[in-house]
Every structure is written in structure tokens, then in C-alpha cells.
Structure 1
Amino acid sequence: MTLPVALYIVPTPIGNLADLTPRAQQVLAEVTLIACEDTRHSGKLLSHFGITTRTVALHDHNERAKAQWFIEKLAAGEAVALISDAGTPLISDPGYHLVSQVREAGFDVSPLPGACAAITALSASGLPSDRFSFEGFLPAKEKGRIDKLTELREDPRTLIFYESPHRIVPSLASLEQVFGSERQMVMARELTKTFETFLTGTISEVRAKVESDANQQKGEIVLMCHGFVSQVNDEFPPKALATLQLLCDELPMKKAAAITADIFGLKKNALYKYGLEQGW
């Protein structure tokens, strides 16, 4: 069987080699070229399955320049596959510029389903999965990390991050600093591998477990945090609280509470107390 000319996006195992699907094996064996992050790393996977297809390096440093070369191969009638070191290409891995340029050149891009650490972790986390945001790796430097987390602090979706072993402890510290110690989270480590682990609890609890166990500071890590839950007091209509907050910008709290109470027919002392609790 000859594959139609296209760029095939092929997920590879994130740990357990048995997770490479039969279709993925067939595609990798039948394409003319395989673009991969690290030819030596991918060579071990391909060798395990007896796949001898030629591999060509495609990584962050050469992707823009190399994309045109792959397009020329497609134009010559050759089918090409794209893989990453593990999981689904383009998910915190190279491939965006290649896929974009191939599509602009008018060639088909055909994706295969398969392993993805973020989705694998989320499915077993017990956190809400109806809405989530994959944020990739957090910035390496503390200031950048804090700034990024501050942007996400009130996001109601489950938040998913990748993290490296040497940054897991400071990243958990930043999460606790910005999101607070009581937000629920799950840390998944070494998914599909022998030492697969899920740590569940508040941010402070997970951080304590990781800091006290050096084994939890090793391997591939996925961090998942429960989305922000608003603490708005149901006792007061939202419009009343918005009015109170607006008035507090211009008036003393006591006066602002009295005016808001008159407008909405509420108890001024209760509004005054609520405003103090919010720091308005």
C-alpha cells in the first residue's frame, strides 16, 4: 500500500512503547522521511519496531529554514511523517512552523490520534475536565513565572502545565505564592512508566510531599490546578456589590455602604462589613 502524499502528524509513546498504535507503526514504515526532534532518540523507538525509514532532524533551531526542504520533498511526491521525542507533535514541541508552511503550500496534513501527556494526566486527575487550558512549561525565571501565574490566577478552567525535574520545587512554591495554599491540584509523574505517580491535594500538601521525597523530583511531570472559584457573597445582588465597589473608590466605606443600601434596599451594616472584608 502506498500512502497518499501528505505530512503525517504521528504521536509517539510517552513511556510505554506498547502505546505506539498499529496505524502509527504502518505510517512510519511507509513514509519516505520522518522529521524528528532528535534522530538518536527516535532511532531507538524505530529500531524497536523494525522501522528503517530515513530520519531527518527538525527542532526549534532549524525548523523555519528546514520547512521548505520538506515541502520540496512533498512536491516530489514523497510522504513525510512528523514525530516528537514523546507524545503528540506541536504540544510543547516543534512542528508549528512546518505544519503552517505545508498547509500554505497546498499540501495535506493528516493527523493520527495517540499519546499526549496533558490529556492522559487530565483524564485520571479527578479535576474538572469539561473546560481546561494547557499552558505548556512555566517560565524558568521566578519573575516570569510569577507574572504568568498572576495572569492565570482567576481563570476558572483547570490549568495544565508541564514541568522539568530541576524546576519542580520552585514552580510549586510559585504556584502556592500566587494561587494560595488551599487550591486543589494534582501532580502526575512518569505517566505510563514503571514509577507512574499521582499526588493529589492542596498546593501546599503536594509541595510538601515533593520537597520531602527526592524521588518525586525526577522524571516527566504534569501539574494540574483546579480553576478559580469565585467567592462572591450570594447575600447581595452582583449589581449592588459592583456599585459598592465603585463608590468605595471615591467615598469612605461607611458612606458608600449607606448609599448602596438606599439604592438597593439592603442593610447598610451588612454591606459595610462585606466591604471591609474585601479590603475596599
Structure 2
Amino acid sequence: MVPRWARAQGRGVTTTTSSVSAAPHRAALSPLGLLTLLLGTALPMIDFFVVNVALPAVARDLHAPPATLEMVVAGYAVAYAVLLVLGGRLGDCFGRRRLFLWGVAGFGATSLACGLAPGAWWLVAARAAQGAASAALLPQVLATLHATTSGERRARAVALYGSVGGVSVVLGQVLGGVLVAADLAGTGWRAVFLVNVPVAAVAFGCALRSVPDSRAERPGRADLAGTALLAAALCALLLPLTEGRA
């Protein structure tokens, strides 16, 4: 005959076990979610290289000197490099899906600003803002892949992520040449930026429906002082190198 205290203890163990097994699991990444994340990966990478082919047309249209053209490329790269770690940390703190959506929306808006640029320095500023949007967007992709997949699915997803990066390098330069030569609706070089706007809108809508949210269990603090110091150091190095050769 089982003592009363043993029966009570057994009921407590059963209740605890069932509550643990009923704990919610992280949402799995759907195929559409994976495709959306890969699209978010391709957009900034393609855009980094697509502008190289358009620079001669930009120089003719905006009467931009060589030093300013270098800033069109470097402004994007510096903003991305400076804010990349901060973007990843903000995703850990506030949710990677949220930062991904902010990044996609910002990328679309800054692409529109680049495509409508009335002058060379407007384009430089818009490209720097575009790099900042990319820094908010890209870190969330790999972090979300790791948080929402496991085993073979994670291996395939990470392999696709790496493949998209490699293909984007080539595709950016080819696409830039095609768009500039096509002169779509008389837009010339502006098409290399304006084409991002509908693509970003599609990525934003798909992300709302298919990308699950995740965040770090114990996120660290964002190093704002270090980010500002890195930005100042890179600008102090970059400006003399570009302007000094002009």
C-alpha cells in the first residue's frame, strides 16, 4: 500500500513534468520565411556592387568629381561597417524580426532617396543612410537562421546564406550594367536604386507574415561609445585619403 505522502509527491512530480513539456517552443522557419531572409541578404550585397558600374553615368549626370564618387561607395561601406555590431546587438535586445523589418523599410526608403538624388552630396548622404539600414538588416538574418532552425535544416539554410552572398557579388555588377544600358523610362543610372523599392516592399510584406521573432535570452549592452569612436576614427582616416587625392 502506497503511503499518502508518496502519492502526493508523485502528483507533484507529474504536474511539474507536464508543465515543462507544455512549455512553448520557438517558432520554426517556414520555406517562405527562409526565402524572405535570403532576399534580405541579397539586397544590400547586390547594392554594394551595383553602384560601381553606374559611377561613370553618375559623374556625367551630377557633375561629380572623382573624390565625391569615391564617397558614394565608401559612405555605404563605412556606415555598414561601423553600425554592423550595433545592429546585431539591437536585434538581440529588441527582437530580430523587428530590426529586420526596420532594416528592410529603411533600405527601401534610402534606395528611393538615392534614385531621386538631385546632387552628388545628396547621393553620398543617402548611400550612407542605406549602409546604416543594411547594418540593421543583415545581422538579423544569420541570427534568425540559428534561432529558428536546427540539424540538417540549419546546415542547408546556412549553406544557402553563403551561396547568396557569393552570387550577389557577381549579380550586382551584371545587373548594374544591364540597368544602366537599358535606361528604363529614361531613368539611366537611377534605375539601379529605384528597382530596390518594390523588391523591398515585397520583402517587408513577406517578413510580416513568415519571419518568426527571436531575441537573445541575456542580451548584452550596446556599446554606443565604441561605435561613435569607431565612426570618428574611420571618417578621420577616410576623408584625407579621398579628398587628398582629388
Q: TM-score if structure 2 supplies the norm length?
A: 0.19
Structure with bigger helix share is 2
Structure with bigger strand share is 1
Query: Which has more radius of gyration?
Result: 1
